[in-house]
Structure 1
Amino acid sequence: MNQNNRIFDDLGRLMNEAAGVADGVRREAETVMRAQANRIIADMDLVKREDFDALRELVQVQSEEIDQLKDELAKLKGKAD
Protein backbone atom coordinates (compact mmCIF):
# COMPACT_ATOMS: atom_id res chain seq x y z
CA MET A 1 0.00 0.00 0.00
CA ASN A 2 2.86 2.34 0.87
CA GLN A 3 4.43 1.64 -2.51
CA ASN A 4 1.19 2.64 -4.29
CA ASN A 5 1.04 5.92 -2.37
CA ARG A 6 4.62 6.71 -3.34
CA ILE A 7 3.87 5.98 -7.00
CA PHE A 8 0.85 8.30 -6.88
CA ASP A 9 2.89 10.99 -5.08
CA ASP A 10 5.61 10.74 -7.71
CA LEU A 11 3.04 10.81 -10.50
CA GLY A 12 1.35 13.85 -8.97
CA ARG A 13 4.67 15.63 -8.62
CA LEU A 14 5.54 14.88 -12.25
CA MET A 15 2.14 16.18 -13.38
CA ASN A 16 2.65 19.41 -11.42
CA GLU A 17 6.13 19.87 -12.88
CA ALA A 18 4.82 19.20 -16.39
CA ALA A 19 2.07 21.77 -15.86
CA GLY A 20 4.69 24.28 -14.67
CA VAL A 21 6.86 23.62 -17.70
CA ALA A 22 3.87 23.93 -20.03
CA ASP A 23 2.93 27.26 -18.41
CA GLY A 24 6.51 28.50 -18.83
CA VAL A 25 6.49 27.50 -22.49
CA ARG A 26 3.15 29.27 -22.97
CA ARG A 27 4.46 32.48 -21.38
CA GLU A 28 7.63 32.35 -23.46
CA ALA A 29 5.63 31.81 -26.66
CA GLU A 30 3.38 34.76 -25.79
CA THR A 31 6.42 36.96 -25.15
CA VAL A 32 8.02 36.00 -28.47
CA MET A 33 4.79 36.51 -30.42
CA ARG A 34 4.13 39.87 -28.74
CA ALA A 35 7.66 41.06 -29.55
CA GLN A 36 7.28 39.89 -33.15
CA ALA A 37 3.91 41.66 -33.49
CA ASN A 38 5.36 44.88 -32.04
CA ARG A 39 8.27 44.70 -34.52
CA ILE A 40 5.91 44.17 -37.45
CA ILE A 41 3.70 47.07 -36.35
CA ALA A 42 6.73 49.32 -35.92
CA ASP A 43 7.89 48.41 -39.43
CA MET A 44 4.47 49.32 -40.86
CA ASP A 45 4.96 52.99 -39.89
CA LEU A 46 1.40 53.36 -38.57
CA VAL A 47 -0.03 56.59 -37.16
CA LYS A 48 -0.40 56.77 -33.40
CA ARG A 49 -3.94 57.17 -32.09
CA GLU A 50 -3.12 60.47 -30.36
CA ASP A 51 -1.77 61.94 -33.61
CA PHE A 52 -4.83 60.75 -35.53
CA ASP A 53 -7.23 62.25 -32.99
CA ALA A 54 -5.35 65.57 -32.99
CA LEU A 55 -5.42 65.76 -36.79
CA ARG A 56 -9.12 64.84 -36.92
CA GLU A 57 -9.91 67.63 -34.45
CA LEU A 58 -7.88 70.11 -36.51
CA VAL A 59 -9.71 69.10 -39.69
CA GLN A 60 -13.08 69.54 -37.98
CA VAL A 61 -12.14 73.04 -36.80
CA GLN A 62 -10.88 73.98 -40.26
CA SER A 63 -14.04 72.60 -41.86
CA GLU A 64 -16.15 74.81 -39.62
CA GLU A 65 -13.99 77.82 -40.51
CA ILE A 66 -14.35 77.06 -44.23
CA ASP A 67 -18.13 76.84 -43.86
CA GLN A 68 -18.17 80.22 -42.10
CA LEU A 69 -16.00 81.77 -44.79
CA LYS A 70 -18.28 80.36 -47.51
CA ASP A 71 -21.28 81.93 -45.78
CA GLU A 72 -19.50 85.27 -45.51
CA LEU A 73 -18.47 85.11 -49.17
CA ALA A 74 -22.03 84.32 -50.22
CA LYS A 75 -23.28 87.33 -48.23
CA LEU A 76 -20.66 89.59 -49.79
CA LYS A 77 -21.53 88.36 -53.28
CA GLY A 78 -25.20 89.02 -52.51
CA LYS A 79 -24.45 92.61 -51.50
CA ALA A 80 -22.30 93.19 -54.58
CA ASP A 81 -25.15 92.23 -56.92
Structure 2
Amino acid sequence: MQSENRFFDDLSRIINGAAGTVAGMTREFEGNARERAREWIGGLDFVSREEFDAVKQMAAEAREQVAQLEARLAALEGKAPAAPAAAAQAKPRARAARKPD
Protein backbone atom coordinates (compact mmCIF):
# COMPACT_ATOMS: atom_id res chain seq x y z
CA MET A 1 0.00 0.00 0.00
CA GLN A 2 2.76 2.33 0.75
CA SER A 3 4.13 2.01 -2.80
CA GLU A 4 0.75 2.91 -4.23
CA ASN A 5 0.55 6.00 -2.02
CA ARG A 6 4.00 7.01 -3.10
CA PHE A 7 3.04 6.55 -6.76
CA PHE A 8 -0.05 8.74 -6.34
CA ASP A 9 1.94 11.30 -4.39
CA ASP A 10 4.50 11.52 -7.18
CA LEU A 11 1.76 11.63 -9.77
CA SER A 12 -0.02 14.46 -7.94
CA ARG A 13 3.26 16.40 -7.68
CA ILE A 14 3.83 16.02 -11.42
CA ILE A 15 0.28 17.13 -12.21
CA ASN A 16 0.54 20.11 -9.85
CA GLY A 17 3.87 21.08 -11.37
CA ALA A 18 2.45 20.82 -14.88
CA ALA A 19 -0.58 22.89 -13.88
CA GLY A 20 1.69 25.56 -12.41
CA THR A 21 3.80 25.56 -15.56
CA VAL A 22 0.72 25.90 -17.78
CA ALA A 23 -0.61 28.73 -15.60
CA GLY A 24 2.74 30.53 -15.81
CA MET A 25 2.86 30.07 -19.58
CA THR A 26 -0.67 31.42 -19.85
CA ARG A 27 0.22 34.55 -17.85
CA GLU A 28 3.35 35.07 -19.93
CA PHE A 29 1.43 34.63 -23.18
CA GLU A 30 -1.25 37.11 -22.09
CA GLY A 31 1.41 39.63 -21.07
CA ASN A 32 3.20 39.28 -24.39
CA ALA A 33 -0.07 39.55 -26.32
CA ARG A 34 -1.03 42.72 -24.45
CA GLU A 35 2.40 44.25 -25.10
CA ARG A 36 2.22 43.43 -28.81
CA ALA A 37 -1.27 44.91 -29.02
CA ARG A 38 -0.07 48.12 -27.34
CA GLU A 39 2.85 48.36 -29.77
CA TRP A 40 0.58 47.74 -32.76
CA ILE A 41 -2.07 50.23 -31.67
CA GLY A 42 0.59 52.77 -30.71
CA GLY A 43 1.96 52.68 -34.24
CA LEU A 44 -1.41 53.38 -35.86
CA ASP A 45 -1.48 57.12 -35.04
CA PHE A 46 -4.72 57.04 -33.10
CA VAL A 47 -5.75 60.23 -31.32
CA SER A 48 -7.57 60.55 -28.05
CA ARG A 49 -11.13 61.83 -27.87
CA GLU A 50 -9.91 65.00 -26.15
CA GLU A 51 -7.46 65.74 -28.98
CA PHE A 52 -10.16 65.08 -31.59
CA ASP A 53 -12.64 67.38 -29.85
CA ALA A 54 -10.01 70.12 -29.51
CA VAL A 55 -9.16 69.99 -33.23
CA LYS A 56 -12.86 69.89 -34.13
CA GLN A 57 -13.42 73.05 -32.06
CA MET A 58 -10.42 74.73 -33.70
CA ALA A 59 -11.80 73.89 -37.16
CA ALA A 60 -15.22 75.32 -36.27
CA GLU A 61 -13.60 78.53 -35.02
CA ALA A 62 -11.47 78.73 -38.17
CA ARG A 63 -14.56 78.34 -40.39
CA GLU A 64 -16.29 81.10 -38.46
CA GLN A 65 -13.26 83.35 -38.77
CA VAL A 66 -13.04 82.67 -42.53
CA ALA A 67 -16.71 83.61 -42.94
CA GLN A 68 -16.12 86.86 -41.01
CA LEU A 69 -13.03 87.67 -43.08
CA GLU A 70 -14.90 86.95 -46.33
CA ALA A 71 -17.68 89.31 -45.27
CA ARG A 72 -15.13 91.97 -44.30
CA LEU A 73 -13.29 91.58 -47.62
CA ALA A 74 -16.53 91.81 -49.54
CA ALA A 75 -17.43 94.99 -47.63
CA LEU A 76 -14.00 96.48 -48.34
CA GLU A 77 -14.33 95.64 -52.04
CA GLY A 78 -17.84 97.03 -52.12
CA LYS A 79 -19.52 93.75 -52.93
CA ALA A 80 -22.46 92.16 -51.21
CA PRO A 81 -21.47 88.94 -49.44
CA ALA A 82 -22.80 85.95 -51.36
CA ALA A 83 -23.85 82.76 -49.69
CA PRO A 84 -22.16 79.60 -51.03
CA ALA A 85 -25.49 78.16 -52.21
CA ALA A 86 -26.42 81.41 -53.98
CA ALA A 87 -23.05 81.53 -55.71
CA ALA A 88 -23.45 77.94 -56.90
CA GLN A 89 -26.93 78.68 -58.26
CA ALA A 90 -25.78 81.89 -59.95
CA LYS A 91 -23.22 80.10 -62.12
CA PRO A 92 -25.70 77.89 -64.03
CA ARG A 93 -28.00 80.87 -64.60
CA ALA A 94 -25.15 82.92 -66.00
CA ARG A 95 -24.33 80.15 -68.47
CA ALA A 96 -27.95 79.77 -69.44
CA ALA A 97 -28.19 83.51 -70.11
CA ARG A 98 -25.18 83.35 -72.44
CA LYS A 99 -26.63 80.63 -74.70
CA PRO A 100 -27.48 81.95 -78.14
CA ASP A 101 -31.13 81.52 -79.16
C-alpha separation in 1, matches of 2:55 and 2:26: 40
| Equivalent position of 1:25 in the other structure | 25
Partner in structure 2 of residue 37 of structure 1: 37
CA RMSD of aligned residues (A): 2.1
Q: Which has the larger radius of gyration?
A: 2
Pairs aligned (count):
61
Alpha-carbon spacing, 1:55–1:20, altered in 2? closer, same or farther (3 Å): same
TM-score, normalization by structure 2:
0.52
SS in structure 1 opposite 2:47?
A: coil
> Per chain length, whose mean CA-contact separation is higher, i.e. which structure has more relative contact order (CA < 8 Å, sep 6+)?
2
User: Which 5+ residue runs of structure 2 have no aligned equivalent?
Assistant: 65-101
Q: Which of the two has greater helix per residue?
A: 1
TM-score by length of 1: 0.63
Find the counterpart in structure 1 of residue 51 from structure 2: 51
Structure 1 unaligned regions, length at least 5: 67-81
